[in-house]
Amino acid sequence: MNIGFAQNQWEEGTVKEVTKNNFIRLYDENLFRLMGIDLPQGIFDERQNYKCIARKTHRLLRLLLEHKNIKIKKHSLDLPEYGVFPQQVKIESSLDLAEFLLEEGYGSFVPEVENKTLFRRYEMAEKIARDEQLGIWSHCGKNQDKSINLRNWWGDQFRKKYGQFLAPVSVGRVKEVFSGQSLVLDNGLKVRLLGIEVPSPQDQRPAFACFGKYSKAYLESLVLDKQIFLERDVSEFDEQRHLWRYITIPSSRNQKEIFVNQKMIEDGFARNFWLSEKDVEFRKDFEQIQEQVWQDPKGAWLYCLDEILEKEDGKEKELILDQTCPIKGNISGSKSNPTKTYHTPASRWYKNLKQEVCFNTEKEAEDAGFRKVK
């Protein structure tokens, strides 16, 4: 399963999923584990100091890795136990993932690293976590004075510089847009849009990279160099200490107030996504809007599929007809204001679409008040 990785060479991949903190699976189905670190084995780990941070570790690894591009290096060709190779992994900004996790106390160092320089770096990273009593070295609530002091210190520094942004509603001006879901204010504070998810423009999968490119450009067109309102739900920060916020552009003479998070989904440039179950203020609204967009795709959903089809060198698209339902009809929206659409076999979504109503002809669908999706 791992024969695709060459020894001592950096290769690139995109992570599909993280399982039980130990195994990382790529979209090409290669499976491996992190080299040089012993991570919690899930909530059933018999080691109490590991068990207490297992959930937190899993959430962090999913946030850092899933659907992200990474660099991978295998240091040995000897087949390890269970046939799953340990790999050195670098994430964004060439950050060594195992070294980062060791320094933050998410695991302990395993001396399987043959590179002496890397060996010393990992040992030093674990020592930092031990000295500061972080993660597995904090004894799960006991003797955590140092780690608590560090968190309090960071909180104090944040309050001194950005205290007003901890209020339920705050105001800022956008200096730069990093992606379709993250930006930075003119005071340097980084903000992530709550309730949405957008791929990276650097994603190795063409459709995802295309989506990320259009999403970033669209968010820039909405907020760059503009004053915005930031509204808090329950979540304060993500794992990278970016603010989680709903963003609104206030009304002016030329435009109405714009709820940016919702508009990104509504116009087809983001997917409804909630990392925490605690944030519920707009959850149902976003879910309903997402369903409507999937029934009548727009924005990046359309542009990026078109881009892929254009790269197929003009190959004729095979039309697959469901004999039991030649024309597939769907109804979305509210009962008082329903949106009725229908799909023919020429529609890109026809094949995988679960119909609510079936018609034999387009005229039959239109007579029933349904609108065609191209």
Q: What is the pLDDT of residues 346-368, one digit of tens each?
A: 776 676 666 678 887 888 888 88
Of 302, 331, 364, which residue sits at a domain end?
302
CA dist 272 and 146 (Å) reads 39
Task: Answer whether residue 169 shows pLDDT above 80.
Answer: yes
Q: What is the CATH number of the domain that holds 285?
A: 2.40.50.90
Q: Which of 42-56, 281-295, 317-331, 344-358 has the lowest mean pLDDT?
A: 317-331
Residue 312 identity:
E
How many CB atoms lie under 10 A from the CB of residue 312?
Answer: 9
Q: Tell me the average pLDDT across 323-350.
A: 74
- Identify whether residues 88 and 122 lie together within a single domain: yes
Q: Give the pLDDT of residue 321.
A: 58
Give mean pLDDT, residues 32-46.
81
pLDDT band for position 335 (cuts 50, 70, 90) = low
Residues 110 and 193 both lie in one domain: no
Domain end among 302, 325, 360: 302
| Residues 200, 264 share a domain | yes
Is residue 89 domain-shared with residue 18, that is, in the same domain?
yes
pLDDT at 189 over 80: yes
Is residue 349 domain-shared with residue 250, that is, in the same domain? no
Q: Which of 26 and 22 is assigned the larger pLDDT?
A: 26
Q: Are residues 17 and 138 in the same domain?
A: yes
Same domain, residue pair 132 and 205: no
Please report the pLDDT score of residue 148 as a whole number: 46
Decide if 164 is inside a domain: no
Domain region containing 292: 175-302
Together in a domain, 107 and 206: no
Separation between Cα atoms, residue 7 and residue 124, nearest integer Å: 25
Asked if the structure places residue 165 within a domain, the reply is no
Type of residue numbered 247: I
Residue 200 lies in a domain: yes
Helices (H), 296-355: 300-310
Residues 115, 15 share a domain: yes
Residue 191 lies in a domain: yes
Please give the pLDDT value at position 1: 40
The two tokens of residue 193 are: 């849009």
Sequence-distant (≥ 6) Cβ neighbours of residue 159 within 8 angstroms: 166
Total domains in the chain come to 3
Asked whether residue 2 is assigned to any structural domain, the reply reads: no
Mean pLDDT of 43-64: 82
Are residue 137 and residue 16 in the same domain, yes or no? Answer: yes
In a domain, 93, yes or no: yes
231, 187: one domain: yes
Q: pLDDT tens, 212-232?
A: 999 999 999 999 999 999 998
